[in-house]
Amino acid sequence: MRRLTVLCTLFFAASANAESIPLWKFFEPFDMAQVQISPNGTYLAASLLHGDGDEQVNKLQILRRDNGERVYTFSMPEKQRIASIIWADDDNVLLSPSRKIPNEDAYAPTFGLMKVVVETGKTIDLTASGGGAGILNMLAEEPDHALVLRLSGRYVELFKMHLQSGATSKITRAPALGPGFILTPDLQDVAFHVGTNDENQTMVHERLGSGEWDLLSVNSYDQRGWRPIAAAFKPNEYFTIDRRNPRGIAALGIYNRETREHTEVFQDDTYDVTGVLQDQTGNVWGLSINHHFPRVMYLNNKHPLALHHKSIRRQFPESTITIFSYSHDHQMVLANVSNANALPEIVLLNAKGGTLDPITDRATEIGIASDQLATVEPFGLNARDKTPIYGYLTTHKDVPRPGPMVVRVHGGPLDARDSYGFDGVNQIFATNGYHVMQVNFRGSGGFGTRFRNKGFREYGGAMQDDVTDATHWAIQQGIADPDRICIAGGSYGAYSAIMGAAKEPELYQCAIGQSGIYDIGAIERMGDMSRSKSGIAWMRLTMGRTREERQAVSATNFASDVKAAVMLIHGGQDRRTPQEHYHRMKEAFDKVGKEVTTHFRGNQGHSWIGRDTVMDLYGRQLAFLDQHIGDGSTQAQSVSAAN
């Protein structure tokens, strides 16, 4: 399982104080890809990977939970894997398959739906006649039925599917773009739909008793609106995410369908709420908030899942606990236990028996112990205009202070953000001798609409200044060596890397841009967002209202200001930021006589995929970093079965 399909040699900087972790360990898939518990808690259904490379087989294995006895094993067809597992009832499992992408060790969903009968192993293709479908919700009171989504033209339709025959009956068609159906408390019908129109406005519709849709609200991207998310505790009441407050912080609210009144339930001072946590019957028990660290508030302290979440959290107080599968009586619970400096593990809580047992041991399986990894700490500072900004520092105990640092700028940029948690790329850089800093600059999501809107039309402006201010802060705190700093990122982060090097030529010694959007002036003519009215409207609102405004901040105009060493990475199949961006940026550097390091792969898209491809990608980046801000002790590491 630990071998690679090819033998490749990667060159990278080994930390002078610690033995580097082989790159393949960060990209090797886990043997147990996923697991789900059956409704009565009798069985576990697991997706397991067997073998290596082209010979690798994905199997569905049904085990008895109490003794681990293997009940049934089903092998996926060649070049297919299991994308998701859902128990229909204790006798039937639903699988959504994915198919191998040609020439890459990666898989894409097929939007099919397959039923496996546990006793006989019989398989039934439920979408053979009606096209692809995605499950929205299983019907607890009708275990032989499920609500499924299908795309019809531009709009999503909701169907009730019979899981024995695959027959469907249509419930409704979405009144706006997107799959945002909000169900009634019994999960049998639709109460609301949240979607968008061609102007990129958010639209909230209510479904009336007649089946007709009533438009409740329309708000533009820059406005503070509200949307329903789930049925609340009382009849006719629904939880909402409501931003209609002075700072646009996403608060938890309640909307009453009869009175049409709104009530605020909870609002944090700084951070948006992200959603509610529900059981299989739609009962809400928790509220999630992405604070410095992810946290959960219990809205129903007596709900079994809330009690179990507390119990597991007591055993792992420094970890994020995510309950993802449970028996219908809530006495058997599967949870993901994750930390920023440890591989995620799965545990099984038996509330009746009072036991908490590990299902996985990935630290041993992959061979990465927590003490080998870097720690992640949040930080905050005031930008030059006193705007508070936040971020994360990933640092290994063996990296000196001050020491070399990589500033990783997230993409998006608007509404995207960096969060606390395990990040394999950060760990690669940190365990190879670099501090890694991430900044949630203005425009990032999670801190309210007002903070997000401060990023509008600030490409190369205040958004960039926030990254600069955080970099200076790291120098002042004695974290970063001012002569050994590289700025890197993908998509918008690649633009920011080049613009950062141009605006602050003495601050960064190198810049790495992957899948970058460099020619802002041309975005209305290329890229997938230029193909829709809503995409063009969004770009004009957030990047610049006119082509002249956008052209003035294009990175292609600033090539002559860049003194730092530059690495440009791009894929020929990138539809979000087409390869023209890469070629124009490269040509701009060529015109001013600046040599740059390039890595172009014709078969890659906006996000690079494939284990070996991505390993090679980061091996090249580590070699580039070592050349320009490392200690010069580049070593050749053979990534092969021997490792």
pLDDT digits (tens, 9 = 90+) for 531-551: 788 888 888 889 998 999 999
**Given this model, what pLDDT does residue 461 score?**
97
Look at residue 104 and tell me whether its pLDDT is greater than 70: no
Least confident range from 67-76, 299-308, 335-344, 390-399: namely: 67-76
> Over the stretch 281-314, which tens digit does the pLDDT of each residue have?
999 999 999 988 899 999 999 999 999 999 999 9
Q: Are strands 480-490 and 510-514 parallel, antiparallel or unpaired?
A: parallel
Look at residue 584 and tell me whether its pLDDT is greater than 80: yes
**Given this model, what pLDDT does residue 78 score?**
85
**Mean pLDDT for the stretch of residues 100-127:** 83
**Given this model, what pLDDT does residue 52 score?**
65
Least confident range from 40-44, 316-320, 524-528: namely: 524-528
> Over the stretch 424-466, which tens digit does the pLDDT of each residue have?
999 999 999 999 999 999 999 999 999 999 999 999 999 999 9
Do the Cβ atoms of 102 and 124 come closer than 8 Å?
A: no
Do the Cβ atoms of 393 and 435 come closer than 8 Å?
A: yes
Quote the DSSP letter at residue 321. Answer: E
Give 217's Cβ-side CA count (13 Å radius): 17
Look at residue 79 and tell me whether its pLDDT is greater than 80: yes
Q: Strand pairing partners for 194?
A: 180, 204
Alpha carbon 194 to its chain centroid, in Å, reads: 21
**Mean pLDDT for the stretch of residues 592-596:** 98
Domains of the chain: 42-367 (2.130.10), 370-639 (3.40.50.1820)
**Mean pLDDT for the stretch of residues 315-329:** 95
Look at residue 523 and tell me whether its pLDDT is greater than 90: no
Backbone φ and ψ of 302, nearest 5°:
-95, -5
- pLDDT category of residue 102 using cuts at 50, 70 and 90: confident
Distance CA 322, CA 320 (A): 7
**Given this model, what pLDDT does residue 9 score?**
27
Look at residue 564 and tell me whether its pLDDT is greater than 70: yes
Look at residue 496 and tell me whether its pLDDT is greater than 90: yes
Q: Which residue has the higher pLDDT, 2 or 319?
A: 319
Concatenated DSSP letters for 574-612? Answer: -SSS-HHHHHHHHHHHHHTT---EEEEETT--SS---HH
Q: In percent, how much of the chain has pLDDT > 90?
A: 72
Look at residue 409 and tell me whether its pLDDT is greater than 70: yes
**Given this model, what pLDDT does residue 4 score?**
27
Mean pLDDT of all residues belonging to the chain? 90
With CA atoms as reference, report the closest residue to 396 among 293, 486, 489, 479: 479
Q: Strand pairing partners for 266?
A: 252
**Given this model, what pLDDT does residue 53 score?**
62
